């Protein structure tokens, strides 16, 4: 049912681990917002696929288990993300599922907001 929640953890570059209660069906940006997690600059475009500040790095096995493959729009935006990896996704495009209980994702340092000219 829609009240189902899982715990996910956001690991920052300094090693700190921020726990977030995630509602199944929400995306990972919602989780950061709803849990009021203090991640600098995260989710600047509020999930409209116009920045890349919600860049998250998954473990290989978790990445492979994600239910939805990234869309072309997400991939284009990811290309602009700082520190892109093979297991990178944009948090606002990843929907929480029941099997994400205990999921750990890395928050890369050096957030690039694609909306701001550098």
Q: How many helices (H) and strands (E) does the chain have?
A: 3, 5
DSSP assignment of 58-77, as one string? E-HHHHHH-SSPPPHHHHHH
Q: Contacts with ligand FES: how many residues (CB under 6 A)?
A: 14
By CB under 6 A, residue 28 contacts ligand FES? no
By CB under 6 A, residue 45 contacts ligand FES? yes
Q: Which of 8, 22, 28, 29 binds ligand FES (CB under 6 A)?
A: 29
CA distance linking residue 115 with residue 40, whole number of Å: 16
CA distance linking residue 47 with residue 43, whole number of Å: 6
- The region of 4-12, 14-22, 45-53, 94-102 touching ligand FES under the rule CB under 6 A is 45-53
Kindly tell me which of 4 and 115 has the beta carbon lying closer to ligand FES: 115
By CB under 6 A, residue 88 contacts ligand FES? no
């Amino acid at each position: 049912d829609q009240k189902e929640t899982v715990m996910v953890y956001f690991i920052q570059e300094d090693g700190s681990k921020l726990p977030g209660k995630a509602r199944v069906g929400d995306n990972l940006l919602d989780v950061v917002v709803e849990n009021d997690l203090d991640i600098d600059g995260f989710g600047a475009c509020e999930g409209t696929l116009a920045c890349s500040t919600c860049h998250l790095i998954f473990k290989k096995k978790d990445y492979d288990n994600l239910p939805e493959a990234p869309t072309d729009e997400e991939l284009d935006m990811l290309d602009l993300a700082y520190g892109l990896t093979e297991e990178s996704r944009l948090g606002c495009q990843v929907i929480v599922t029941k099997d994400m209980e205990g999921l750990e994702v890395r928050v890369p340092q050096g957030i690039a907001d694609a909306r701001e000219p550098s």
